[in-house]
Amino acid sequence: MRKSQKAKSLFNLSIIGPAIIDSLKKLDPRHQIKNPVMFVVLVGSILTTGLYFQALSGHGEAPAGSILAISSWLWFTLIFANFAEAMAEGRGKAQAANLRRTRRDTPAKKLSNPSYGSSYEKVSATTLRKGDVVLVEAGDIIPMDGEVVEGVASVDESAITGESAPVIRESGGDRNAVTGGTRVLSDWLLVRISSNPGETFLDHMIAMVEGAKRQKTPNEIALSILLAVFTIIFLLATITLLPFSVYSVISAGHGERVTVTVLVALLVCLIPTTIGGLLPAIGIAGMDRMVQANVVATSGRAVEAAGDVDVLLLDKTGTITLGNRQAVAFIPNQDVNIKSLADAAQIASLSDETPEGRSIVVLAKKKYGIRERHIHELDAKFIPFTAQTRMSGVDLGDGRQIRKGSAEAIEDYVKKFGGSFSDDLKSNIEMISKNGGTPLVVAEHKHVLGVIQLKDIVKGGIRERFAELRRMGIKTIMITGDNPLTAAAIAAEAGMDDFLAQATPETKLKLIREMQSGGRLVAMTGDGTNDAPALAQADVAVAMNTGTQAAKEAGNMVDLDSNPTKLIEIVKIGKQLLMTRGSLTTFSIANDVSKYFAIIPAAFVGTYPSLKALNIMHLATPSSAVLSAVIFNALIIIFLIPLALRGVPYKPMTANRFLRNNLLVYGVGGIVAPFIGIKLIDMILAALRLVQ
């Protein structure tokens, strides 16, 4: 959870130790039955162990030693697969333990009346129920998830987010949600508890990372079906080899039928044990990567859907543009010097502490060298912005009155004194709007001096990220309350595919529904309560942790960093999850080619000596050929654990190129690698004289 842990190595001793014990515990048939592929391996292991004891008693189908060698490596295959799962779970458990540490039995101040100053009793957090109101003061830990009903306070949420900077939580608006286990640093809050014990956000996170509530996702189910079918096909192909072999021995008149041990070995080598063994680990590791990206998903299904998203709805403000507009140009009226416009604009903004106001002062200074003066030295009176006047400005000591504000407000203002807007000015105002800017008109008494062009500043690098998304096949749509002209200009500047202007909760919902009925999968981020309906409708809905409880409940993921561009990362993690499964499935099946060439000649060369010709790897002896294939099959699971846990790397490129690259690596590689591996193992076995 904490940043320092992100760098933690894959193989951590404190995780490996318990994982080894766990992998033995997981040999329990009740656990194995959940994974049909590995269950077949378990049955094979038990069967060959039985054959080993039979051989010990002197009635075996083959020398006891060679049966034991194969049998033990079959058990290792199982244990290695269990180990992969245990490793993935271990990493999750380590994170969960960190989270649990924050959940001490916190004392809570339960209020009798939901108002500040009323009496409270000290109770344990575990006794709190939904609807109770508690008082949390500086230094207290917030006992449970809830909504702030009164007060403002800074809260340290590092326990959950890993972010050390405190955040502000206040009643009303979109910053009223607090999380149990976080600490109030200053001031006080009245919090209405929003969940019962065991259902809090923290509980949810712990359950997720521990994989306790992990259910198979639809895609995982489809893959399991495919793997089960391959298992059945190979089961048939190997079981029928017994009668085929008996028939061949009878008709050839010599040789011995293939042993059950060799058939079991062949079966285990053929069925997709590599993917079958690593499948649970891949799923758990996917969740784990999500948590490391500081995103908590409510289900694996959501993570998987993220990989499929093809439309992304993003709020303009804060996501695409910096939260504030900035002044970028002064456009004077025909009869006005640009410097005097800049000067007037700067004076009018000196006391305006809004980011827009500051940016005007800075622009005037930078572009026209107008020194920043102090409002007192001008003997000026600041006229602040109000919702009624919709303008601000200064009344100077020399009687000058300078105002700046929206075009409508200033027009009313100058009309009062008998002034008017020239056509030229009107066209300037229109031009600015058209280009996605906001015009601020500056007037001195009845004289209009000109216009300040304010502009949304598109975040650096965002264009490239959207281009990346486009390469991934994802369409981006900007959502904004701006008018269509402004929206179009900003969307174009940010490189977005489309926009929804003058958005309301209803139009957002409608847009999502339209997209979905067109067959698209929609992702969106949101934080406000008014986003909740749209979040509930979207396929992948990421709520900001700073957002309201309603937003969090409507979404299926929560981003602890409250970073709207996190969606891009979420999409990547979702894709990686699918890709890792697909690549290892291909690898697993491609492996079978070489295993046939190792085992089939070995199994039947006694009956048909001509089959020597198929031993293209020139493996030393039939028994070393079979054993080498089984050992390779077991070891490859261990070798691929890091890949399963880290995931196949994802780079945005077209689907076709991606498929080609992965096919080369995992398909062609999957065919070639075992030829080399099995040959090497055979050479080692022969050199050490471990087999006859």
Partner 1 sequence: MNWNNVIQGLIFLATVILLAKPLGIYMARVYEGKPAGLNVLLGPVERWIYRLSGIHPETSMSWKGYAVAMLLFNSIGIVVVYALQRLQAHLPLNPMSMSGVTPDLAFNTAVSFATNTNWQSYGGETTLSYLTQMVGLTVQNFLSAATGMAVLVALIRGFIQKKVETIGNFWVDLVRSTLYILIPLSLILSIILVSQGVVQTFKPYEKVTLLQPVKNDNGTVVQEQVLALGPAASQVAIKQLGTNGGGFFNVNSSHPFENPTPLSNFLEVISIILIPAALCYTLGYMVRDKRQGWALLAAMLIIFIPCLWSCIYFEQQGNPLFNSLGIDQKATAFQPGGNMEGKEARFGIVNSAIWAVATTAASNGSVNSMHDSYMPLGGLIPMWLMQLGEVVFGGVGSGLYGMIAFAIIAVFIAGLMIGRTPEYLGKKIEAYEMKMASLMILIPPALVLAGTAVSVSLHQAKVSIFNPGPQGFSEVLYAFSSAGNNNGSAFGGLSANTPFYNIALGLAMFFARYWLAIPILAVAGSLSRKKIVPVSQGTLPTHTPLFIIFLIMVVLIVGALTFFPALVLGPIVEHLMLHHS
Residue closer to partner 1, measured from CB, 152 or 228 = 228
DSSP characters for 645-679? HH--------HHHHHHHHIIIIIIHHHHHHHHHHH
Q: Which stretch binds partner 1 (CB under 8 A): 6-14, 30-38, 232-240, 428-436?
A: 232-240
Is 475 among the residues that bind partner 1 (CB under 8 A)? yes
Q: What are 430's two structure tokens?
A: 């229109």
Residue closer to partner 1, measured from CB, 241 or 402 = 241
Q: What are 210's two structure tokens?
A: 């521990």
Is 608 among the residues that bind partner 1 (CB under 8 A)? yes
CB-count exposure of residue 489 (10 Å: 0-12, 13-18, 19+)? buried
Site string for partner 1, 176-215 (x = CB under 8 A): ----------------------------------------
C-alpha 450/C-alpha 322 separation (Å) is 26
Residue closer to partner 1, measured from CB, 614 or 635 = 614
Is 172 among the residues that bind partner 1 (CB under 8 A)? no
Q: Which stretch binds partner 1 (CB under 8 A): 72-80, 218-226, 354-362, 450-458?
A: 218-226
Active site residue 497: no
Site string for partner 1, 495-534 (x = CB under 8 A): ----------------------xxxx--------------
Residue closer to partner 1, measured from CB, 332 or 574 = 574
C-alpha 438/C-alpha 486 separation (Å) is 8
Query: Which one among 162, 495, 667, 669 touches partner 1, defined by CB under 8 A?
Result: 667
Residue 548 carries which DSSP code? -
Report helix angle 462-471 to 566-604, nearest 10. 40
Radius of gyration of the chain (CA): 34
Residue type for position 493: E
Question: Taking a C-beta distance cutoff of 8 angstroms, is the pair 491, 499 a contact?
Answer: yes
Residue closer to partner 1, measured from CB, 127 or 661 = 661
Residue closer to partner 1, measured from CB, 39 or 608 = 608
Query: Which one among 33, 212, 233, 684 touches partner 1, defined by CB under 8 A?
Result: 233
Q: Which stretch binds partner 1 (CB under 8 A): 134-142, 221-229, 355-363, 484-492?
A: 221-229
Residue closer to partner 1, measured from CB, 237 or 322 = 237
Considering only residues 264-293, where is the footprint of partner 1 by CB under 8 A?
266, 270
Is 467 among the residues that bind partner 1 (CB under 8 A)? no
Residue type for position 218: P
Question: Taking a C-beta distance cutoff of 8 angstroms, is the pair 403, 393 a contact?
Answer: yes
CB of 51 to partner 1, least distance (A): 21
Query: Which one among 252, 616, 684, 690 touches partner 1, defined by CB under 8 A?
Result: 252
Q: Which stretch binds partner 1 (CB under 8 A): 119-127, 230-238, 409-417, 434-442?
A: 230-238
Is 575 among the residues that bind partner 1 (CB under 8 A)? yes
Question: Taking a C-beta distance cutoff of 8 angstroms, is the pair 637, 76 a contact?
Answer: no
Q: Which stretch binds partner 1 (CB under 8 A): 15-23, 152-160, 468-476, 543-551?
A: 468-476
CB of 525 to partner 1, least distance (A): 20
CB of 554 to partner 1, least distance (A): 23
C-alpha 91/C-alpha 290 separation (Å) is 13
Residue closer to partner 1, measured from CB, 147 or 569 = 569
CB of 241 to partner 1, least distance (A): 5
Residue type for position 470: R
CB of 616 to partner 1, least distance (A): 13
Is 254 among the residues that bind partner 1 (CB under 8 A)? no
Q: Which stretch binds partner 1 (CB under 8 A): 41-49, 437-445, 522-530, 657-665?
A: 657-665
Residue closer to partner 1, measured from CB, 123 or 237 = 237
Q: Which of 649, 145, 417 is nearest to 134 (CA)?
A: 145
Number of residues that bind partner 1 (CB under 8 A): 77
Query: Which one among 241, 347, 500, 512 touches partner 1, defined by CB under 8 A?
Result: 241
b/e per residue 113-149 (b: at least 16 CB within 10 A)? ebeeeeeeeeeebeebeeebbbbbeeebbbbbbbbbb
Phi, psi of 441 (to 5 degrees): -90, 135
Strand partners, 147: 177, 192
Query: Which one among 21, 239, 492, 684 touches partner 1, defined by CB under 8 A?
Result: 239
The single residue of 203, 288, 315, 527 carrying the catalytic annotation is 315
Is 474 among the residues that bind partner 1 (CB under 8 A)? yes
For 394, the enclosing helix (H) or strand (E) is: strand 391-395
Is 34 among the residues that bind partner 1 (CB under 8 A)? no
b/e per residue 400-424 (b: at least 16 CB within 10 A)? ebbbbbebebbbebbeeeebebeee
Is 247 among the residues that bind partner 1 (CB under 8 A)? yes
Is 221 among the residues that bind partner 1 (CB under 8 A)? yes
Considering only residues 578-597, where is the footprint of partner 1 by CB under 8 A?
578-579, 581-583, 585-586, 589-590, 592-593, 596
C-alpha 208/C-alpha 10 separation (Å) is 20
Q: Which stretch binds partner 1 (CB under 8 A): 191-199, 226-234, 541-549, 623-631?
A: 226-234
Is 471 among the residues that bind partner 1 (CB under 8 A)? yes
Considering only residues 300-329, where is the footprint of partner 1 by CB under 8 A?
304, 307-308, 310
CB of 77 to partner 1, least distance (A): 19
C-alpha 229/C-alpha 411 separation (Å) is 76
b/e per residue 559-577 (b: at least 16 CB within 10 A)? bbbbbbbbbbbbbbbbbbb
Considering only residues 610-629, where is the footprint of partner 1 by CB under 8 A?
610-611, 613-614
CB within 8 Å of 360: residues ≥ 6 apart: 327, 345, 346, 348, 349, 352, 404, 440, 452
Q: How many residues does the chain have?
A: 692
Report the 10 Å Cβ neighbour count for 248. 16
CB-count exposure of residue 662 (10 Å: 0-12, 13-18, 19+)? middle
C-alpha 338/C-alpha 204 separation (Å) is 60
Query: Which one among 34, 381, 513, 660 touches partner 1, defined by CB under 8 A?
Result: 660
Question: Taking a C-beta distance cutoff of 8 angstroms, is the pair 602, 626 a contact?
Answer: yes
Q: What residues are annotated to the active site?
A: 315
